[in-house]
């Protein structure tokens, strides 16, 4: 039976984007023919967390409503460089705990992190959605592998827009940043597009 994962931001005992996490969990159960989901709010309440600071609440669950929790201290860190990796057959519509394919792609890379290219379109990194800067506006690819909770939140708040981003127009953007449940829109973590070591104009893809 497949297992799935939710990584939820918890800071000073406050939990973030819980409704969007619950929506994703509910949709996962429904997709696999299950009407009864797990209740993330109740799980969080029963943990009785009384520590301050920034944590990742990691919940691994299956379709029989079994789950395990882990509270992990979290510190965001800069990534040195990124590499475009092509994989036209990869699908990740649901947040499976099995990450073997991500690991296989990273093993082909010489950079610290990968940006997955599918059918010539930019998608995600191995652990996050992406935002790209053009002028003064931030855009996220329409072709994300997983519609992450932070991506949904920023779109609903109209802080970002969607657009088609491909290998052909990637160089129209000057900067990018990574977003996920733990990393929100943060101008302290903006990367110049040149941090992608194999930009299309002069590099070879794997």
Q: What is the reported pLDDT for 186?
A: 77
What is the C-alpha separation between 143 and 92, in angstroms, rounded?
Answer: 12
Give the position of tokens 């939820």. Answer: 8
**pTM for the full predicted model:** 0.93
Q: From start to end of 2-53, where are the E strands?
A: 3-11, 14-15
Q: How many CB atoms lie within 10 A of CB 124?
A: 26
Q: What is the reported pLDDT for 1?
A: 84
The parent domain of residue 59 ranges over 3-73
CATH label of the domain that carries residue 20: 3.30.470.10
Q: What is the reported pLDDT for 45?
A: 94
For 103-155, write each residue's pLDDT tens digit.
999 999 999 999 999 999 999 999 999 999 999 999 999 999 999 999 999 99
In a domain, 191, yes or no: yes
Of 32, 56, 73, the position where a domain reaches its end is 73
146 in the same domain as 99? yes
């Amino acid at each position: 039976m497949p297992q799935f994962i939710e990584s939820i931001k918890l800071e000073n005992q406050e939990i973030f984007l819980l409704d969007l996490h619950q929506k994703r969990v509910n949709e996962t159960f429904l997709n696999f023919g299950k009407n009864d989901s797990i209740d993330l709010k109740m799980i969080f309440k029963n943990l009785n967390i009384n520590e301050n600071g920034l944590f990742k609440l990691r919940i691994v669950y299956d379709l029989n409503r079994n789950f395990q929790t882990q509270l992990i201290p979290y510190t965001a860190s800069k990534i040195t460089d990124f590499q475009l990796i092509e994989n036209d057959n990869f699908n990740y519509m649901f947040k499976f705990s099995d990450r073997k394919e991500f690991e296989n792609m990273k093993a082909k890379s010489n950079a610290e992190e990968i940006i997955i290219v599918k059918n010539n379109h930019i998608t995600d990194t191995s652990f996050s959605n992406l935002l790209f800067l053009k002028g003064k506006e931030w855009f996220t690819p329409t072709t994300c592998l997983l519609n992450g909770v932070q991506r949904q939140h920023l779109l609903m708040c109209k802080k970002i827009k969607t657009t088609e981003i491909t290998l052909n127009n990637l160089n129209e953007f000057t900067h990018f940043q990574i977003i996920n449940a733990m990393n929100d829109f943060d101008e302290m973590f903006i990367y110049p597009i040149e941090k992608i070591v194999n930009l299309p104009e002069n590099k070879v893809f794997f």
